[in-house]
Amino acid sequence: MRISNLTRRQLLGSTAAGAVLAPFVPLLPARAALDKPPLRLIMMYSSNGTVREAWLPTVANGQLQLPAILAPLEKHKGDMIVIDGIKHSGGEKAQGGHAGGITSCLTGSVGKFVGTVIRAPSISVDQHIANTVSNNLKFKVINPGVIVDTFDAEVCAFSYTGPMQYVFPENDPLKLYGKVFANTQLPSGGVPGPTNDRAKLARQSVIDYVRSDLAALKPKLGVDDQQKIDRHLQIIREVEQGLATGAGAAASVDCKKPGVPNVAISNDTIPKIGDLQTDLLVTAMACDLSRVGTLAWGRAGCNHRFTWLGKQFDLPGGVQGIHAAAHDEFNPTMRSLLVQMHTWYAARVAALVDRLKATPEGNGTMMDNTLVVWFNEIGVGSTHSLSNVPWVLLGHAQKQLKTGRLLSVPGKPNNALLVSLCNLMGLVTVNTFGDPQFGSGSLPGLV
């Protein structure tokens, strides 16, 4: 068959085959790295700071002792690094509060005003990492949201593809499903393949075109070299199958198209919306459609009303929620409710980790190859302080991190943590992130 008759996929496969099989034997050991699952990053956001004494763990006999808010993560505490003392310096220099915090938390930059709203003048860490690790995949970043409303546009987004270019999360699981899965062929998707002869020929593996040549060559090689070539052919076949189905080459064995989600979008359905969005995000990553995801539980200063936890969460004075409770946190009754609200978000982090640990991958699970970051825009809801902002990491990032500990870094700018996230995700030459006035280098003691 002439090259002009090859499809783009066959040409891609031919290029791979040429690079790997032309010498047939030399340099084959380098391919072993392809057997390792990819490292992924999921950043989960919740708002309105925290109640410090109910969030900050202690350490006894080398073990984390989790307080009320982190209690739902007890079974995962061996996978945790709780980071205390982070300061959102760029947010303070902008205008402080929710808007300054949300603009700077993942960008490390000082926000700039566009009319009456504030925007980040630089890319966010999730998008920056995705430009490398999700390059050539179907999506750079997948951004589901849970009732992220549009109260003052500047407090809606933390993800920026570039200066002033924010990404608004997708709130509707059905729309997210349509965007990510509706036109994506997956192994269990039931999408019929081509039936005419020309289409069948176009889908034929590039390996089939060199099979006779390989059959003639292999008897002339030693057993080890024959086995190496067989393994390379298997890798190429897996890549081709990934291209044919729409899933990435590193798709997990658990890559299956999810059911079509069905939920009404309202405050009372927040738990179900969150479960659906979590499942869609993890499934998309299991299918290697992206290696970076964010999950936004509301906007900065969100006002989710926790009606599903009981009538006591219908706060007096009209329609109120966690934002109103945070502003009245010195009221003992309100403070108790606020702790329960933040605890519920912690349980959602635990559910995400449960889902990752339940998904087989390689010799372990997806959690072995995923770094989960739970973050906030501010430290204290009532004062809008941008000091002591709560950050929690879960996962050892393919054995790069020593977990099950508390890391205290008083006053350290989030820029240093953003550098560390880049380094952990393979961008090892990154030494500054965001505004350089806040220093350079990674977060001390993290690695």
Task: Please check the confidence at residue 347 and state whether its pLDDT lies above 90.
Answer: yes
Integer Cα distance of 401 and 81 in angstroms: 9
130: its two tokens:
């995705």
Integer Cα distance of 436 and 413 in angstroms: 11
For residue 159, give the nearest of 119, 201, 192, 115 by alpha carbon.
119
pTM over 0.85: no
323: its two tokens:
């934002």
Query: Is 144 in contact with 274 (CB distance < 8 Å)?
Result: no
In whole angstroms, what separates CA 3 from the centre of its chain? Answer: 39
Number of alpha carbons in the 13 Å side-chain half-sphere of residue 116 = 3
The H-assigned helical ranges of 68-117 are 89-94, 97-104
The single residue listed with the structure tokens 């990674």 is: 442
What end-to-end distance do the CA atoms of the chain give, in Å? 53
For residue 185, give the nearest of 249, 247, 252 by alpha carbon.
247
Reduced to 3 states, what is the DSSP secondary structure of residue 406? strand
The single residue listed with the structure tokens 């993290």 is: 446
Task: Please check the confidence at residue 263 and state whether its pLDDT lies above 70.
Answer: yes
Task: Please check the confidence at residue 27 and state whether its pLDDT lies above 50.
Answer: no
Q: Which residues, including other chains, have CB under 8 Å from residue 207's CB and lie 6 or more apart?
A: 13, 17, 233, 236, 237, 240
Task: Please check the confidence at residue 71 and state whether its pLDDT lies above 90.
Answer: yes
User: How are beta strands 80-86 and 405-408 bridged, if at all?
Assistant: parallel
Integer Cα distance of 260 and 172 in angstroms: 12
What angle in degrees, to the nearest 10, is found between the helix axes of 414-424 and 125-133? 10
Integer Cα distance of 214 and 219 in angstroms: 9
Question: b vs e for 79-99, b when ≥16 Cβ sit within 10 Å of the residue's Cβ?
Answer: bbbbbbebbbbbbbbbbbbbb
365 strand-pairing partners: 360
pLDDT digits (tens, 9 = 90+) for 197-246: 333 344 445 555 566 666 777 677 777 776 667 666 655 554 454 444 46
Integer Cα distance of 261 and 264 in angstroms: 10
Count the residues in the chain. 447
Integer Cα distance of 1 and 5 in angstroms: 7
What integer best gives the mean pLDDT of the chain?
A: 85
Integer Cα distance of 98 and 116 in angstroms: 14
Query: What is the per-residue pLDDT for 115?
Result: 84
The H-assigned helical ranges of 246-314 are 270-286
Residue 356 confidence class, pLDDT cut points 50, 70, 90:
very high
Any idea what the Cα angle at residue 335 is, between residues 331 and 340, rounded to 5°? 155
Reduced to 3 states, what is the DSSP secondary structure of residue 112? strand
Lowest-pLDDT range of 16-20, 294-298, 372-376: 16-20
For residue 322, give the nearest of 336, 293, 301 by alpha carbon.
301
Integer Cα distance of 300 and 117 in angstroms: 13
60 strand-pairing partners: 63
CA distances from 37 to 109, 361, 365, 396 (A): 33, 7, 10, 14
pLDDT digits (tens, 9 = 90+) for 221-231: 777 776 667 66
Query: What is the per-residue pLDDT for 190?
Result: 35
Domains delineated in the chain: 3-34+196-245 (no CATH), 41-186+254-438 (3.40.720.10)
Query: Is 369 in contact with 399 (CB distance < 8 Å)?
Result: no
Average pLDDT over residues 55-59: 97
Residue 275 confidence class, pLDDT cut points 50, 70, 90:
very high
Task: Please check the confidence at residue 365 and state whether its pLDDT lies above 70.
Answer: yes
Lowest-pLDDT range of 164-168, 214-218, 362-366: 214-218
In whole angstroms, what separates CA 431 from the centre of its chain? Answer: 22
